[in-house]
């Protein structure tokens, strides 16, 4: 049971919530955006396939990252299974390969092959973040970019593609919101890893800019994306309830301002707390954004079908 627990820790199950919830939410957003598309097993089936393939892929990429970062983790996170020696690299690699195989199989079963193309590109980007010869996590802003593409932008368009074609503007507007959010918010995990990242040659933004300047640099990512969401809604570029989406964007921007306050209040605490309160707020904000945007679309479609007036 102890070994099983270590394998579960290796996959970092808490981080799987965002892709699972996000794929289901934005799959339903894609369905809701077409008033003429009825709800059926042919809609639910690809959404669930895509959601589980994305979550399993996330687990595989978590293990990949820990394999390549095991020397850094000896400094930053010595209690993790790999640096602590409770799991061997070979055993971790076998589990990682099994998860990659399972996620790729599920992705291939999604009927719309646009999703499979996005899935394969996501594998490449997530590998490039940690693996040689790319290892983009060494290069400051490029590290943020390779985090934001799969975990922000591609999450939205990938989920959309499971249900509808992405050859329209709407999914890309929604993906821009989450891409910009993750672009800055992903830095919050770097503050407590300064010692190991510096020793491992990873020049993250806090190392390049210093802690306070790095905090100031990422503040717009907690506010601007959600202002854009409200703007896109008020311009009627989104097919959900425009006034609900505008309100959601406003609430998220206020929440982002509060996170910014937490970051700026005592930025030095970011360097000593692995799970700083701002990181927890960031994660909860992302989950709330996914679910609330989905709700605004679902309510709008039900209203269009005549179930109630919105």
104 within a domain of the structure (yes/no): no
Per-residue model confidence as pLDDT tens for the chain (310 residues): 458 888 988 998 888 888 999 999 999 999 999 988 888 888 999 999 999 999 999 999 999 999 999 988 898 888 889 999 899 999 999 999 999 999 999 999 999 999 999 999 999 999 999 999 999 988 888 999 999 999 999 999 999 999 999 999 999 999 999 999 999 998 888 777 778 888 888 888 888 988 889 889 999 999 999 999 999 999 999 999 999 999 999 999 999 999 999 888 876 666 665 566 677 888 899 999 999 999 999 999 988 887 777 6
Please write down the HEC assignment for all residues of 28-73: HHHHHCCCCCCCCHHHHHHHHHHHHHHHHHHHHHHHHHHHHCHHHH
Q: Domain total for the chain?
A: 1
Asked if residue 67 belongs to a domain, the reply is no
pLDDT at residue 92, rounded to an integer: 94
Q: Tell me whether residue 200 is in a domain.
A: yes
Q: Is 266 exposed, middle or buried (0-12, 13-18, 19+ CB in 10 A)?
A: exposed
Query: Tens of pLDDT along 143-168?
Result: 999 999 999 999 999 999 999 999 99
Q: Residue 186's closest CA among 123, 126, 246, 268? A: 126
Give the per-residue pLDDT at 35: 86
Contact 172, 193 (CB under 8 A): no
Is residue 55 included in any domain, yes or no?
A: no
pLDDT at 274: 57
Chain segment 86-128, per-residue pLDDT in tens: 999 999 999 999 999 999 999 999 999 999 999 999 999 999 9
Q: Are 23 and 150 in contact (CB under 8 A)?
A: no
Instruction: Give residue 271's pLDDT.
Output: 60
Query: What range defines the domain where residue 263 resides?
Result: 18-46+112-304
Which one, of 16, 37, 13, lies nearest residue 27 by Cα?
37
Q: Does some domain include residue 193?
A: yes
pLDDT at res. 193: 78
Q: Is residue 7 part of a domain?
A: no
Look at residues 150, 122, 136, 140 and name the one whose alpha carbon lies nearest to residue 68: 136
- Paired with 10 in beta bridges are none
Residue 309 lies inside a defined structural domain of this protein: no
Residue 100 counted as domain residue: no
Task: Confirm if 122 and 187 have CB atoms less than 8 A apart.
Answer: no
**Per-residue pLDDT at 76:** 84
């Amino acid at each position: 049971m102890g070994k099983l627990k270590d394998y579960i820790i290796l996959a970092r199950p808490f981080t799987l919530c965002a892709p699972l919830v996000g794929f289901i939410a934005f799959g339903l957003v894609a369905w809701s955006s077409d008033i003429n598309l009825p709800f059926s097993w042919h809609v639910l089936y690809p959404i669930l396939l895509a959601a589980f393939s994305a979550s399993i892929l996330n687990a595989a990429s978590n293990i990949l990252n820990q394999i390549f970062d095991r020397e850094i983790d000896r400094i930053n996170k010595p209690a993790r299974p790999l640096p602590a020696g409770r799991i061997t690299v070979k055993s971790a690699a076998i589990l990682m390969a099994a998860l990659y195989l399972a996620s790729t199989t599920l992705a291939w079963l999604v009927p719309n092959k646009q999703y499979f193309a996005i899935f394969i590109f996501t594998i490449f980007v997530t590998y490039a973040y940690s693996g040689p010869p790319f290892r983009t996590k060494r290069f400051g802003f490029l590290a943020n970019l390779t985090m934001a593409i799969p975990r922000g932008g591609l999450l939205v368009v990938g989920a959309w593609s499971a249900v509808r074609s992405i050859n329209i503007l709407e999914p890309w507007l929604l993906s821009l919101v989450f891409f910009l959010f993750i672009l800055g918010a992903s830095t919050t995990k770097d503050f407590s890893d300064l010692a190991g990242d510096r020793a491992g040659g990873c020049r993250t933004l806090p190392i390049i800019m210093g802690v306070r300047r790095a905090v100031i640099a990422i503040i717009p990512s907690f506010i601007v994306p959600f202002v854009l969401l409200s703007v896109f809604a008020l311009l009627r570029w989104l097919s959900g309830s425009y006034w609900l989406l505008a309100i959601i964007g406003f609430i998220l921007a206020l929440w982002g301002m509060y996170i910014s306050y937490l970051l700026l209040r005592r930025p030095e605490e970011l360097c000593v707390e692995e799970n700083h309160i701002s990181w927890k707020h960031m994660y909860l904000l992302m989950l709330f954004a996914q679910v609330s945007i989905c709700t605004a679309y679902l309510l709008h479609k039900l209203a269009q079908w005549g179930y109630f007036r919105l």
